[in-house]
Amino acid sequence: MRIRSDIFVSALTRRVFSDGGYAAVVAKGAEASGAIFVRQRFRDGLETLYGPAPQAMIGEGERDDRIFEARLTRAEPEAVEALITREQKFDSDLWLVEIEVDDLGTYLSLTDQKG
């Protein structure tokens, strides 16, 4: 069974804070199943946006995991904001979490980390 979106977001923000980073929930989505987007801000002013990986990229044994893919990598904030705005028009129940960490570490499972 897949973990609820609100619990996943809560755990993510707590982990970031416990490691000395900063995290904030910018948009609260559907508690049980809202799509989660993570906006990673870097010290140089650039940002990376992660969103849910397409179902085709998720293996049968990973259906209950939350797998993310980079939608924009080290982009200007305006480009990230424009993509978020388009996503919110499509899905008003999405979650948006901003984090300020230099290394994403193990906070998210990414499609490009899979063997």
Output the pLDDT for position 113.
59
Sheet with 22-27: list strands edge to edge: 22-27, 95-100, 36-41, 47-52, 67-75, 109-110
Q: Using one digit for the tens of pLDDT, what is the confidence trace for 34-80?
A: 999 999 999 999 999 999 988 655 555 555 578 999 999 999 999 99
- Region 12-41: what's the mean pLDDT? 96
What pTM value is reported for the model?
0.89
User: Is residue 97 pLDDT above 60, yes or no?
Assistant: yes
The per-residue pLDDT for 115 is 43
Q: Given this model, what pLDDT does residue 78 score?
A: 98
DSSP 3: P
CA 108/CA 95 separation, integer angstroms: 15
What does pLDDT average to over the chain? 90
Mean pLDDT of 19-32: 95
Per-residue DSSP letters for 9-66? Answer: HHHHHHHHHHTT-EEEEEE---TTT--EEEEEE-TTS-EEEEEEPPGGGS-GGGTTS-
